């Protein structure tokens, strides 16, 4: 079985090989091992990019393979980040509070510790009580479960409602966008207990690893992201291959026909939608400790649309396309908007890339949609055809 | 004739006498208090001035308050003074004669402090109520309205009869009712006044009534006879047992309980050698351990004992908790309670009406934002994610026009058609260049138009910067239509409502009554058949898309008038607009109207339950829409039969 899966998907091996080489090279060049050619901040950028690639292949599976243009998967990504962020913030604040309460005359009671943590975390939104949703924030295990279960459950409920009433196509996209907007508005509120638009911060300080330098911790997270991407890639490659994958692609191409053939279309869609949401949550949980801060703006509908943009530019319906698209566009974005791209002086006007990058991105996006619907991945197809003698369709 | 002569003579003799009773003379009686006024002495001065039969007292009081009264130190005479560089222009208080002195040596200024100035202003009111200058009378009434007090009642009543101006008279009578209700001495008169007030919704009257109904919380073993009791408080219903006990403690009727903080401070104070009450300090890290240690201290007599639950219950049982009106007369408080009940009923009606107006105006904004989308999305089946950016373009067009044409009325009249033209052109260009190629790939239309939206948004940011630009409405649209203190709506919102109605009519007319509309509907239903009937579907699609975009531009001007114009304003409306169209039912103008009304009213309704949190209202509104689509997937007004297609 394993052999046939690999045999049918040679690209998986190539991808894993490329990822392994990349990881080893980056590790050798990182600050932690002494070469220091790759700064810690750039290492974090690379690690974050790997997480974005992971959520992009999830998006590719749900859109490129199953035909559901979800404009909400980046919200699941954000929820994963919030879930892990709650533990990171709680545990770190607990450590700080323990130290500061040492000086008190009496040793602190558990209640006093909780109160102190509460006022530390929620003081910024004028509260000090722990909201219900923080009930498990003291436990890493439970919050790790939440990383997977909360996006999974949300996707399950939303998907069940949407697919059951046969909302499809653009209507479904709009509905997912509405869901995303609702979620981001929910996170924006001060009284929902997630610190409103302050978000969660200080996530780069991992409790228990205070004595390790950021260079080392970043490298560990980079490795974790690479492993997660590799596992995710294999998982999705497995899911979309074989009979199951054929049905999923058939749903994309003609949903009604698949239904008439006797398949439970809704169950297939629901499975894909939920699974990809869970993977998006995991990707977010790895991303935000490297980013250090998460706020509701990250969940806004626009972020999910950018996710679709990456996948479209990289090439839908092929997993490596999503990886290429996400890596390329997000790295270019951070290069252009980071201010390090050279401005172009036209004599009468200076093109500042911080101002014009989005214009370029938007235009290239329109062009890709119009003329290269297969995205960058289409180039590989063209190469393939050339090698095969130009007869493959 | 002789009598007249006698009168003249008497006046001649009286004149010097009257002069002795001049303002200056009265002031000299209180020279010390005027020159260095204080809260203690000012009342006496004002009392003697109030009874004095001389002119110019209001002017003097104003001058005094404004620190324009100076005293010549050589003879103690007071002058009204205008400072003129180093010198002073002196005005005699009685004759009004002006003299100028070169410098202010030998003069000292009376400088009343803020408290004294307030007293003087209060005293001025009674003089000003009958002042011939109407603006001063109005100012006096305003000052009464701001800070009513019992001593204003008599001067106010006295001034009503001679009042020539109808508006001022009405205001005086209104204030007289309020003051009588609050400060009157006669019970029947007060009740009559309170009854008169009961139909009034103004904030002022509500303040007066609740002032009369002010209550205080008391606790006593038994209620004293002369108390006007508002309510007997039941423990666990009206107040918690803890609160009740705290009240007892505060009144000194029961011993204080020992709080957690007390325990900590007592224990901390008695730490010795790392031990307290024979227990190691390090073990005191639970509440139970701390209680045990404290008990030991109590047993040793080193701490105040706990109050046992039984003692607490007994203390609570032995006392009655009640609230009593500050006003001792129960007839008056009963009348006020009735008035308050009547007002609150009217208030509820007014608030409901106000909420309805709010919801209507929100619905018309959503309608304006969505109607263009309803045409492109509903009629043509094209998803235009750049629709919000067309709204933004329209708003910026309005802004640019206002920069060129300074007259706001003219500029709005120019901006509306110009915004239509600009976005019409943009829409046509977009249809020709992009959307035409994607008619059979709706998801890709969504993405391509999103790309255009990013470009337009960033271009607007590059051109106009990130800060919000104002779109100023003309004067005749400023302000609000105020029905009373509860119900009011700004004219801009009314204008938007009218505009929305106008567009509803216009679009219905175009679609149902014109050649273009007929062709649009034909192309919508069956492009192939329409083409074989000689209709050019390309041209129709282009025009329809242009029309939808053009309306977005006009909506942009309207929305820009009441919200700030930013490059991101379109993004704020796009999701709501899509939901409006989807909820209403795709492909139907009436559906869009129904969708906008439903969403507008739902959102305002949710806000009403939780007014401080509009974000929550939006969140729940979206959830509501998602659920709504479960039950009516095709929207409120679903097309039936062949037109529904699929």
What distances in angstroms separate CA B95 from CA A24, B29, B90, B99, B576, one per listed residue?
A: 103, 19, 12, 12, 73
pLDDT top residue among B437 and B571: B437
3-state SS, A32-64, equals HHCCCCECHHHHHHHHHHHHHHHHHHHHHHHHH
Q: How many domains does chain B have?
A: 4
Q: Which residue has the higher pLDDT, B329 or A259?
A: A259
pLDDT(A3) > 60: no
Q: What's the confidence (pLDDT) of residue B1?
A: 53
**Residue B74 pLDDT > 90, yes or no?**
no
Task: Give A23 to chain B, closest Cα distance, Å.
Answer: 33
* Contact between A290 and A218 (Cβ < 8 Å): yes
In a domain, A388, yes or no: no
- Say whether B578 and A373 touch across the interface (CB within 8 A): no
CA distance A374 to A316: 6
Residues B32 and B74 in one domain: yes
pLDDT level of residue B414 (50, 70, 90 thresholds): very high
The pLDDT of residue B644: 44
Answer whether B458 touches A (CB < 8 Å).
yes
pLDDT for position A391: 46
Q: Please, what is the end-to-end C-alpha distance for chain A in angstroms?
A: 28
Q: State the average pLDDT over residues B359-368.
A: 90
B314 in the same domain as B233: yes
Q: Flag whether residue A165 sits within 8 Å of chain B, measured between CB atoms.
A: yes
Same domain, B270 and B381: no
Task: Look at residue A271 and tell me if it is in a domain.
Answer: yes
pLDDT above 80 for A32: no
Classify residue A195: in a domain, yes or no. yes
Average pLDDT in the B634-642 region? Answer: 65
Higher pLDDT, B298 or B130: B298
Closest residue of chain A to B456, computed from CA coordinates: A359
Cα–Cα dist B230/B226, whole Å: 13
Cα(A231)–Cα(A286) distance, integer angstroms? 14
> Is residue A21 within 8 Å of residue A15, measured between CB atoms?
no
What is the average pLDDT value for chain B, to the nearest integer? 82
Q: In a mutagenesis test of the B interface, which of A71, A192, A362, A375 is the best target, namely the one with the most B β-carbons within 10 Å?
A: A362
Q: Please name the member of B285, B444, B622 whose beta carbon is closest to the beta carbon of A108.
A: B285
The closest of A384, A380, A151, A386 to A284, measured between CA atoms, is: A151
Please say which residue of B191, B214, B237 terminates a domain: B214
Residue with tokens 């990707």: A283
Distance from CA of B45 to the nearest CA of A (A): 51
Nearest CA in chain A to B260: A112
Chain A positions in Cβ-Cβ contact with residue B622 (cut-off 8 Å): 178-179, 181-182, 185
CB-neighbour burial class of residue B376 (10 A; exposed 0-12, middle 13-18, buried 19+): buried
Interface of B with A in 40-79 (CB under 8 A): none
Q: Nearest CB to A165: which of B286, B447, B629?
A: B629
Using DSSP's 3-state secondary structure scheme, residue B111 falls into coil
pLDDT tens digit sequence for B467-515: 888 888 888 888 788 877 778 888 888 888 998 999 889 888 988 899 9
Q: Please say if the pLDDT value at position B246 is more than 90.
A: no
Task: Check: pTM over 0.95? Answer yes or no.
Answer: no
Lowest-confidence segment of A33-37, A186-190, B265-269, B412-416 by average pLDDT: A33-37
Residue with structure tokens 């004293």? B224
| Shared domain check, B302 and B170 | no
- Residues of chain A found within 8 Å of residue B452, distances taken between Cβ atoms: 362, 366
Q: What is the pLDDT of residues B261-293, one digit of tens each?
A: 888 888 888 887 777 777 788 787 888 888 888
In this predicted structure, what is the pLDDT of residue A46? 93
Residue of chain A whose alpha carbon sits nearest to that of B631? A165
pLDDT at A174: 84
Instruction: Tell me how close the Cα of A228 comes to any Cα of chain B, in angstroms.
Output: 29
Q: How confident is the model over A86-120, as pLDDT tens digits? A: 999 999 998 888 888 887 777 888 888 888 888 88
CA atoms of B189 and B179, how far apart (whole Å): 11
Q: What is the pLDDT of residue A61?
A: 95
Q: What percent of chain A has pLDDT over 90?
A: 44
- Looking up residue B460, the CATH number of its domain turns out to be 1.10.3470
CA B559 to chain centre: 22
Q: Can you list the alpha helix ranges (DSSP code H) found in A60-138?
A: 73-101, 110-122
Of B267, B457, B458, the CB nearest to A106: B267
Among B269, B290, B325, the domain-final residue is: B325
User: Which A positions 230-259 lie with beta carbon below 8 A of chain B?
Assistant: none
B476 is a domain residue:
yes
B110 and B138 share one domain: no
CB-nearest partner of B630 from A165, A179, A182: A165
Domain that holds residue A247: 2-91+141-342
Whether the CB of A355 is below 8 Å from some CB of chain B: the reply is yes
Q: How many CB pairs under 8 A join A and B?
A: 146
Which residues lie closer than 8 Å to B266 by C-beta, 6 or more apart? B294, B297, B303, B304
Q: Give the tens place of pLDDT for each residue, B536-582.
A: 988 998 998 999 999 999 999 988 888 888 988 888 788 888 888 88
Tokens of B321: 């908790």
Both B181 and B226 in one domain: the answer is no
**Closest-CA residue to A10 (of A372, A318, A326, A392):** A318
Residue B206 CB-half CA count within 13 A: 13
> If residue B166 lies in a helix (H) or strand (E), which one and from where to where?
helix B166-183
User: Measured between alpha carbons, how far is residue A230 from residues A9, A282, B636 in Å?
Assistant: 14, 13, 47
Q: How many domains does chain A have?
A: 1
Q: What is the β-pairing status of strands B69-72 and B107-109?
A: antiparallel
Distance CA A278, CA A271 (A): 11
pLDDT at site B2: 56
pLDDT digits (tens, 9 = 90+) for B168-223: 888 888 888 888 888 888 888 888 888 888 877 788 888 888 888 888 888 888 88
Helix B57-65 crosses helix B114-128 at what angle (to 10 degrees)? 160
Whether residues B291 and B372 fall in one domain: no
**B565: three-class secondary structure by DSSP:** strand
The pair of structure tokens assigned to B262 is 């007390």
Q: What share of chain A is helix, strand, coil (3-state, %, to 5)?
A: 75, 5, 20
Put simply, the chain B residues between 379 and 408 with a CB less than 8 A from any chain A CB are: 383, 385
* B320-325 vs B275-276, strand pairing mode: unpaired
Q: What is the 3-state secondary structure (H, E, C) of B6-22?
A: HHHHHHHHHHHHHHHCC
Q: B residues 265-294 near A, CB within 8 Å?
A: 267-268, 271, 281-287, 290
pLDDT tens readout for residues A372-390: 888 888 888 788 777 776 4
Task: Tell me whether A4 touches chain B (CB under 8 Å).
Answer: no
Q: What is the pLDDT of residue B13?
A: 47
List beta partners, residue B239. Answer: B235
Question: With contact defined as beta carbons under 8 Å apart, do A229 and A55 qualify?
Answer: no
Three-class secondary structure of residue A201 per DSSP: strand
Nearest CB among B451, B615, B629 relative to A189 is that of B615
CA–CA min distance B193, chain A (Å) = 45
Q: How far apart are the first and last CA of chain B?
A: 111
Least confident of A43-52, A74-83, B196-205: B196-205
Instruction: Kindly give, in sequence order, each residue whose CB lies less than 8 Å from that of residue A235, ignoring residues fewer than 6 positions away.
Output: A279
Question: Residues B210, B220: one domain?
Answer: no
* Domain annotation covers residue A124: no
CB of A172 within 8 Å of a chain B CB? The answer is: no
Query: Is A208 part of the contact surface with chain B (CB cutoff 8 Å)?
Result: no
Q: In the structure, what pLDDT confidence band is assigned to residue B378 with cuts at 50, 70 and 90?
A: low
| B contacts of A186 (beta carbons < 8 Å) | 615, 619
Note whether A143 and A87 are within 8 A (CB).
Answer: yes
Q: Check whether residue B505 and residue B532 sit in a common domain.
A: yes
Q: What angle do CA B462, B466, B470 make, to 5 degrees?
A: 110
Q: Is A191 in CB contact (< 8 Å) with chain B?
A: yes
- Burial of residue A89 (CB within 10 Å: 0-12, 13-18, 19+) is buried
Percent over 70 (pLDDT), chain B:
95
Q: Which residue has the higher pLDDT, A60 or A378?
A: A60
The position carrying tokens 């109590």 is B298
Give the rounded distance of the alpha carbon of B450 from its chain centre.
39
Three-state DSSP class for B276?
Answer: strand
Rounded to 10 deg, the angle between the B330-373 and B569-584 helix axes is 90
Nearest chain A residue to B463, by CA:
A355
Q: What does the pLDDT read at residue B3?
A: 60
Are B416 and B551 contained in the same domain? yes
Q: Is the CB of B138 inside 8 Å of chain A's CB atoms?
A: no
Contact B622 A178 (CB under 8 A): yes
Whether chain B has a CB inside 8 Å of the CB on A350: the answer is no
Q: How confident is the model at residue A35 (pLDDT cuts 50, 70, 90)?
A: confident
**What is the DSSP-derived secondary structure letter of residue A31?**
G
* DSSP annotation string for B509-560: HHHHHSHHHHHHHHHHH-HHHHHHTT--HHHHHHHHHHHHHHHHHHHHHHHH
* Chain B contact for A388 (CB, 8 A cutoff): no
Residues from chain B contacting residue A181 (CB–CB below 8 Å): 575, 618, 622
In order of A253, B13, B312, the CA distances from A73 in angstroms are 22, 102, 58
Q: Which pLDDT score is estimated for A393?
A: 39
Do B154 and B297 have their domain in common?
no
Q: Which of B86, B119, B152 is the last residue of a domain?
A: B119
Residue A379 lies in a domain: no
To the nearest whole Å, the CA of B271 is away from the closest chain A CA by 9
Residue B42 belongs to what domain range? 20-119
Please judge whether B286 and A110 are an interchain contact, meaning their C-beta atoms are less than 8 angstroms apart: yes
Q: Is B300 exposed, middle or buried (0-12, 13-18, 19+ CB in 10 A)?
A: exposed
Instruction: Tell whether B612 lies on the interface with A, counting CB pairs under 8 A.
Output: no
Contacts of B583 (CB under 8 A, 6+ apart): B594, B595, B598, B599, B625, B628, B629, B635, B636
Asked if residue A359 is part of any domain, the answer here is: no
Q: Is B255 exposed, middle or buried (0-12, 13-18, 19+ CB in 10 A)?
A: middle
SS3 A82: helix
Taking the CA of residue B285 and the nearest CA in chain A, the distance in Å comes to: 4
A346: Cα separation from own chain's centroid: 38
A109/B contact by beta carbon, under 8 A: yes
Sheet of strand B229-233, all strands in order from the earlier edge strand to the far edge: B215-220, B320-325, B229-233
B 506-565 → A contacts, CB under 8 A? none
Given a cut of 60, is residue B67 above it in pLDDT? yes
User: Are B240 and B193 in the same domain?
Assistant: no
A313 reaches B (C-beta below 8 A): no
| CA–CA dist B357, B116 (Å, integer) | 47
A84 and chain B in contact, CB less than 8 A: no
pLDDT of B5 > 80? The answer is no
Assigned domain for A324 exists = yes
| Residue B446 CB burial class (10 angstroms; 0-12, 13-18, ≥19) | buried
B576 to chain A: closest CA residue: A178
pLDDT tier for residue B646 given thresholds of 50, 70 and 90: very low
Q: Considering only CA atoms, which of A53, A24, A52 is closest in space to residue A38? A: A24
């Amino acid at each position: 079985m394993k052999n046939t899966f690999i045999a049918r998907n040679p690209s998986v091996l190539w991808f894993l090989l490329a990822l392994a080489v990349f990881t080893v090279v980056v590790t050798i060049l990182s600050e932690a091992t002494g070469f220091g050619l790759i700064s810690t901040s750039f290492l974090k950028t690379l690690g974050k990019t790997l997480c974005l690639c992971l959520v992009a292949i999830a998006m590719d599976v749900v859109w490129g393979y199953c035909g559901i243009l979800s404009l909400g998967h980046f919200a699941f990504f954000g929820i994963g980040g919030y879930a892990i962020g709650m533990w990171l913030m709680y545990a770190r604040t607990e450590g700080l509070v323990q130290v500061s309460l040492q000086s008190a005359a009496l040793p602190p009671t558990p209640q006093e510790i909780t109160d102190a943590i509460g006022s530390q975390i929620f003081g910024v939104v004028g509260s000090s009580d722990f909201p219900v949703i923080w009930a498990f924030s003291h436990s890493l295990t439970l919050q790790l479960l939440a990383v997977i279960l909360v996006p999974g459950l949300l996707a399950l409920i939303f998907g069940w409602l949407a697919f059951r009433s046969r909302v499809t196509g653009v209507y479904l996209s709009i509905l997912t966008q509405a869901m995303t907007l609702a979620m981001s508005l929910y996170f924006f509120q001060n009284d929902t207990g997630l610190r409103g638009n302050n978000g969660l911060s200080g996530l780069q300080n991992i409790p228990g690893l205070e004595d390790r330098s950021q260079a080392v911790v970043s490298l560990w997270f980079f490795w974790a992201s690479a492993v997660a991407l590799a596992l995710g890639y294999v998982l999705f490659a497995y899911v979309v291959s074989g009979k199951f994958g054929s049905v999923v692609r058939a749903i994309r191409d003609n949903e009604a026909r698949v239904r008439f053939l006797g398949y439970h279309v809704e169950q297939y869609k629901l499975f894909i939608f939920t699974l990809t949401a869970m993977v998006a949550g995991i990707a977010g949980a790895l991303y935000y400790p490297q980013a250090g801060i998460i706020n509701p703006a990250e969940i806004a509908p626009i972020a999910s649309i950018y996710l679709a943009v990456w996948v479209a530019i990289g090439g839908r319906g092929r997993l490596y396309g999503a990886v290429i698209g996400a890596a390329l566009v997000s790295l270019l974005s951070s290069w252009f908007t980071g201010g390090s791209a050279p401005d172009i002086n036209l004599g009468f006007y200076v093109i500042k890339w911080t101002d014009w990058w989005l214009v370029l991105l938007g235009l290239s996006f329109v062009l890709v949609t119009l003329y290269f619907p297969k995205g960058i991945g289409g180039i590989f197809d063209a190469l393939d055809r050339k090698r095969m003698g130009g007869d493959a369709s | 004739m002789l009598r007249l002569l006698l009168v003249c003579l008497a006046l001649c003799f009286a004149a010097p006498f009257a002069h002795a009773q001049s303002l200056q003379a009265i002031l000299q009686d209180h020279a010390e208090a005027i020159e260095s006024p204080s809260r203690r002495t000012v009342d006496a001065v004002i009392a003697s001035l109030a009874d004095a039969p001389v002119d110019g007292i209001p002017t003097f009081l104003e001058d005094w308050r404004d620190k324009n009264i100076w005293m010549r130190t050589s003879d103690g005479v007071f002058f009204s003074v205008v400072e003129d560089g180093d010198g002073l222009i002196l005005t005699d208080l009685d004759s009004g004669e002006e003299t100028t002195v070169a410098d202010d040596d030998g003069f000292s200024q009376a400088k009343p402090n803020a408290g004294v100035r307030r007293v003087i202003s209060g005293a001025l009111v009674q003089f000003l109520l009958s002042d011939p200058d109407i603006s001063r009378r109005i100012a006096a009434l305003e000052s009464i309205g701001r800070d009513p007090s019992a001593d204003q009642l008599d001067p106010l009543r006295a001034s009503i009869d001679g009042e020539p101006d109808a508006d001022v008279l009405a205001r005086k009578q209104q204030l007289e009712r309020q003051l009588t209700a609050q400060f009157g001495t006669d019970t029947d008169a007060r009740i009559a006044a309170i009854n008169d007030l009961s139909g009034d919704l103004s904030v002022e009257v509500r303040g007066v009534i609740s002032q009369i109904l002010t209550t205080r919380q008391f606790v006593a073993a038994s209620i004293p006879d002369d108390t006007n009791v508002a309510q007997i408080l039941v423990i666990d219903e009206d107040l918690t047992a803890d609160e009740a006990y705290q009240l007892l403690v505060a009144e000194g009727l029961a011993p204080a309980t020992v709080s957690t903080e007390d325990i900590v401070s007592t224990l901390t104070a008695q730490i010795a050698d790392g031990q307290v009450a024979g227990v190691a300090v390090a073990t005191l890290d639970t509440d139970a351990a701390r209680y045990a240690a404290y008990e030991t201290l109590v047993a040793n007599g080193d701490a105040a004992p706990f109050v046992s639950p039984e003692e607490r219950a007994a203390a609570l049982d032995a006392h009655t908790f009640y609230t009593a009106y500050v006003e001792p007369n129960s007839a008056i408080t009963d009348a006020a309670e009735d008035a308050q009940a009547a007002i609150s009923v009217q208030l509820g009606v007014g608030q409901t009406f106000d909420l309805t107006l709010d919801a209507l105006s929100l619905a018309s904004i959503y309608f304006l934002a969505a109607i263009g989308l309803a045409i492109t999305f509903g009629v043509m089946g094209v998803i235009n994610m750049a629709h919000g950016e067309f709204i933004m373009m329209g708003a910026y067009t309005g802004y640019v026009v206002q920069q060129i044409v300074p007259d706001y009325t003219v500029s709005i009249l120019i901006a509306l058609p110009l915004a239509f033209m600009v976005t019409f052109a943009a829409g046509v260009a977009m249809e020709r260049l992009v959307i035409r190629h994607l008619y059979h790939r709706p998801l890709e239309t969504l993405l391509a138009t999103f790309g255009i939206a990013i470009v337009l948004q960033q271009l607007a940011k590059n051109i106009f910067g990130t800060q919000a630009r104002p779109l100023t409405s003309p004067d005749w649209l400023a302000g609000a239509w105020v029905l009373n203190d509860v119900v009011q709506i700004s004219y801009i919102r009314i204008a938007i409502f009218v505009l929305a109605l106008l567009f509803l009519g216009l679009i219905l007319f175009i679609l149902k009554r014109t050649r273009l509309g007929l062709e649009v509907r034909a192309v919508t239903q069956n492009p192939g058949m329409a083409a074989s009937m000689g209709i050019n579907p390309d041209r129709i699609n282009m025009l329809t898309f242009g029309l939808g975009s053009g309306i977005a531009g006009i909506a942009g001007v309207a929305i820009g008038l009441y919200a700030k114009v930013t490059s991101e304003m379109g993004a704020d409306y796009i999701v709501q607009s899509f939901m409006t169209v989807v909820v209403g039912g795709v492909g139907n103008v009436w559906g869009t109207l129904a969708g906008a009304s439903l969403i507008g009213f739902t959102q305002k309704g949710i806000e009403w339950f939780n007014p401080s949190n509009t974000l929550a209202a939006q969140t729940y509104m979206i959830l509501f829409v998602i659920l709504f689509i479960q039950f009516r997937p095709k929207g409120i007004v679903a097309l039936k039969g062949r037109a529904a297609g699929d």
